[in-house]
Homo-oligomer: A and B are copies of this chain.
Amino acid sequence: MTAQATHAEMANAIRFLSMDAIEKAKSGHPGMPMGMADVATVLFSRFLKFDAKAPKWADRDRFVLSAGHGSMLLYSLGYLAGFEDLDIEQIKNFRQMGYRTAGHPEFGHVAIADTTTGPLGQGITNAVGFALAEKMQAARYGKEVVDHYTYVIAGDGCLMEGISQEAISMAGHWGLEKLIVLWDDNHICIDGDTAVSVSDDQLARFQASNWNVCRVDGHDAEAVAAAITAARKSPRPSLIACKTVIGYGAPTKAGSEKTHGAPLGAEEIAGARAKLNWPHAPFEIPAHVLNAWREAGSRGGAERAAWQSRLAAHPAKAEFERTNAGKLPESWKQTVSDFKKKVAAEAPKWATRKSSQEVLEALTAAIPEMIGGSADLTHSNLTITKSTKSVTPSDFSGRYIHYGVREHGMAAVMNGLALHGGFIPYGGTFLIFANYLWPALRMSAMMDQRVIYVLTHDSIGLGEDGPTHQPIETVAALRATPNVLVFRPCDPVETMEAYEAALENTTGPSVMALSRQNLPTLRTSHTEDNLTARGAYVLAEAKGKRQVTLLATGSEVSLAMDAQKLLADKGINAAVISMPCWELFERQPKEYRAAVLGEGTVRVAVEALGIFGWERWVGDNGAIIGMTGFGASAPAEKLYEHFGITASAVADAAMARL
């Protein structure tokens, strides 16, 4: 009969897997896994509701390693607990090409990663999204199928990042009592003692945002367990400050930033083996320790089976499963078609933000899992609809989230909502403020999450608010980011088509760049086909053999139509190409692209944004009409005139090149 594994043995298993894997990789961050091994062991072996055999169980507790550099903590936990995709070869090949055990935990690479972390502060904010999603789903389906905690391990870095304040403030406002943050309070940052840069009373700070807080010795397993037990009973989100020693067990480097981001070295690791009484070879875990861990990993099996039975009997089982699977309801395509027909016939003169509002009105009625919101610009972004009543701290059945002036937090919470499952989040701010949320948008893209960014006031066309609010580089930056669909529709038809494509884009985020100013409806002939989904298409072919190809997006498409007329007056045959989404256009067959771009014709692009990147489409003999510097504060028409973004400038540029 084997011995019962002790807590210390279970924690040391994490420590040595981490030390040894990092040593073998000659790269990585041992300090955090060693420091937080005790806390993680308590959490995973006594509290976390999970089943290693069913890592995506919908009602599992979520676990977020916000301090993602401590990835070996997560991989060690995964291997030890028996997650099937994390065998010992994965641990031995930490940070190597072709293995799942990437430098930072990546959602989709290892099942145990509920989100991708590494950029600090993202994880804790995703966790707010998880906890919010849980409350919203519980409000819809009841506690019998949705009732889980969200646990976070966060470091000093996460708490120093500004986004953490947005997260803390939101969680406290909504009272997300099932969110529990375990702070690795080791008093060490990369530059040394945290005292070099921070003097905050973190507990007081969290309390100021209505959190439950406490402090424990992070190496005292029973104290940690008691704190987690208490936190689970609190009516408020909880911060547990776990006083730990970074690199716990390293004989000379423990407690120092030297353990943070580099292998410890053979000698130090040998010393740790002696100090922690761990005589086992690298990557060898004694059977009784591994068994204890595997028991922890299967602990949730019975609970999951009971949950499955409850779900089987649930009246809304089909809807629960449909929305968790990210599948859209049957009827929504009819909504798209009806809307397009109507606006093509009525040809309203709407700003595309207004078109977006009308589109969202229709889509949110048809797709109950769509969850709206805005970073305190609801009536500018026009993101609220009749179907989306506000979520409040006392009612989570709503579908609209007032994120406050927290663009970055909004984006990271939307990632959490999307990752949790069950919801399709969209959220608004001004396009320029994509720069406040960029790190989180990048995570949407890297994690293949269907998050829709509704970004209005999308050019100098916003007018008087001036250059601080006028995007110039923003759309180029978004287009340069992998796996983001950037839509800049020109009218209500294209706007609906853009949302249709965004909803069908289940493996990445989409951006809607929408005008403040009114624009004519240009697509007045209905097509069932989604032309926007082709990325670019011939909106108005030249009369006669095409000599000039005018490329435009959004608010400048109608300007290109005017330029086409000016050119026609001069006897020049120009086509107008609407180009609402470069990324989708790039996916079209070469022949289609060539036909649209009119090879051999003079191409002129126009966009009331920075010109960066347009060379791809206009070619060596082309011209680009747009912005080369910052904007100015004046009425929109004056600005277009002042910066030379006019139909006649487009026509002149074409003529100069013929």
Contacts and interface: CB of A to CB of B under 8 A. Distances in A.
B376 A160 contact: yes
A406 B207 CA distance: 22
B466 A103 contact: yes
A178 to B, nearest CB: 18
B196 A467 contact: no
A162 B406 contact: yes
B476 A630 contact: no
A191 B374 contact: yes
A619 interface: yes
Among A25, A120, A199, A639, max chain B CB count under 10 A is at A199
A160 to B, nearest CB: 4
B162 A408 contact: yes
A197 B161 contact: no
Contact of A480 (B68, B120, B190, B477): B477
A376 B103 contact: no
A532 to B, nearest CB: 21
Interface stretch (A312-320, A333-341, A429-437): A429-437
Contacts of A408: 162
Interface residues of A, number: 110
Interface in A177-212: 189-191, 194, 196-202, 204-205, 207-210
A200 B190 CA distance: 30
B173 A197 contact: yes
A146 to B, nearest CB: 24
B473 A634 contact: no
A204 B445 CA distance: 37
Interface string A385-421: 0000010110000000011111111000000000000
A613 B473 CA distance: 12
A648 interface: no
Contact of A466 (B118, B377, B466): B118
A483 B160 contact: no
Contacts of A210: 199-201
Nearest to A207: B204
A190 B464 CA distance: 18
B106 A466 contact: yes
Nearest to A433: B119
Contacts of A642: 97
Interface of A: 25, 27-28, 68, 95-98, 102-104, 106, 116-121, 156-158, 160-166, 169-170, 172-173, 189-191, 194, 196-202, 204-205, 207-210, 261, 374, 376-380, 390, 392-393, 402-409, 432-433, 435-436, 438-439, 442, 445-446, 463-469, 472-473, 476-477, 479-483, 610, 612-613, 615-616, 619-620, 627-630, 632-635, 638-639, 642
